Structure 1
Amino acid sequence: MVRLSLAAVITAAQAGQVISFPTDTLPALAVQPDQAAQIYRLKQRPSEKPLILMAATAAELWPFAQGSPEDQAQWNAIANQYWPGALTLVLPASDRLPAAVNPLDRSSIGLRIPACALARQILAETGPLATTSANRSGEPALLDPDAIAAEFPEVTVLAEDPWPDPSGLASTVVRWQADGQWQVLRQGSIVLGEV
């Protein structure tokens, strides 16, 4: 079980190691995007389930998506309304997306800025990270840092005590469609009618 200081967790992430930290929804496993294969191995996660990119600011995420100026204006509008927050935007991916983040489909990428100051503090130092919930694939999300450290002894878990309380509810995931509409892929705390 490895629980380390904020500085040590940031250093581990910068070195390409998998880390865990709290977010506003569920605690995250996170790693540099080009190292995302580590998370698939740790979680025993099927390769058809992509990871999402989290960052501290929208400006760091937009280069991973590509669309027309009109599309981008709509993406900015929804991001300005709901970020930081529990909304993941699935957008057409640019060629900047490392294949390891979405191994079977390089055409799209999920993007989010968490509404957790501690998470954004880490992300501000590491840059965008490939993230997912802290659990083995198919099992319930782990909410307690000690449980995460016990389940994933090779992961550097933030030792900050106490962790901010997560909502325990995964983010709402919406996909941008060619007709300029949003399709809800997963319902979370942000309700469809609000999007």
Structure 2
Amino acid sequence: MPRVAGVESIAMAEVFDCSDSSQLLSGTRTARRAIGQGALVVLPTDTVYGVGADAFSPEAVQRLLDAKGRGRQSPPPVLIPNTGTLAALAAEVTEPLEALAAEFWPGALTIITRANPSLSWDLGDTGGTVALRIPNHPLALELLQETGPLAVSSANKTGEPAARTAAIAQEMLGDSVAVYLEAGEADGSGVSSTIIDATKLTAEGGTIRILRAGGVSREAIVALLPQVTVED
């Protein structure tokens, strides 16, 4: 892999076929080490492939944005391993927010909520918010259990289609990524997660705004939270 300034570097970029059990263990170990060193990793999720970095390393997050050709005005979402992490990262977990997490996580729903103000991270120009999701993919969840929250965006150059395999991601991102975990074509068939702005949810209800339609339908959200106003 390319040398990463300020951190110890892994010797070279590697691609692991995680359908091969002998490569799976070494692949996840190498990915975990790369994340710890501030490098980038491409990993499968239940929607599309993502490129991930340590969410608590501003330098690593900046490398992610640079790799995609994005600015700080487009902060990456954060993938988390379990709902317990939601309480640590969100400023407040209201009953409607908890219901969304319980119903649709792990799964294709990204929830934007107010971030815990005590967090020492820099994801970009977030305006005090954070976009959170638990992916429904065993390999992604295994890695997240070991690394903790990861800043993860779709594994593609900005403006290009989201990658459905690690090989396609590598064609776009090349040596900017240290480790590629290949697990076959993404089950989401190229469908990204639904993104909702839940910053105006209250204990009594409030409002949700759908910013991007995806794997979770508006109808499903309305059915779960009839007391909440859902806007497109």
Partner of 2:143: 122
Q: 2:134 aligns with which of 113, 121, 140?
A: 113
Q: 1:182 aligns with which of 203, 208, 212?
A: 208
Q: 1:132 aligns with which of 133, 145, 153?
A: 153
- Asked whether 1:45 is paired with 2:47, we answer no
| TM-score normalised by length of structure 2 | 0.76
Partner of 2:169: 148
Structure with max Cα Rg: 2
Root-mean-square deviation over aligned CA pairs: 1.9
C-alpha distance in 1 between matches for 2:183 and 2:48: 16
| Aligned residue runs from structure 1 range 1-195, under 5 A | 2-4=14-16, 5-33=27-55, 34=57, 35-67=60-92, 71-101=93-123, 103-152=124-173, 153-162=175-184, 165-176=187-198, 177=200, 180-195=206-221
Name the SS for the 1:158 alignment partner.
strand
C-alpha distance in 2 between matches for 1:166 and 1:96: 35
- 1:140-166 Cα offsets, whole Å, 9 max, x none, are 112221222233223133344546534
| TM-score normalised by length of structure 1 | 0.89
C-alpha distance in 2 between matches for 1:134 and 1:86: 16
* Count, aligned residues: 191
- 1:92-146 Cα offsets, whole Å, 9 max, x none, are 1122445531x22332110000011111011111100001000111111122212
Q: Which consecutive residues of structure 1, in runs of 5 or more, have no partner in the other structure? A: none
Q: Which consecutive residues of structure 2, in runs of 5 or more, have no partner in the other structure? A: 1-12, 17-26, 222-232
- 1:27-62 Cα offsets, whole Å, 9 max, x none, are 000000122111111111132112111011121233
More RCO (CA 8 Å, sep 6+): 1
C-alpha distance in 2 between matches for 1:111 and 1:23: 14
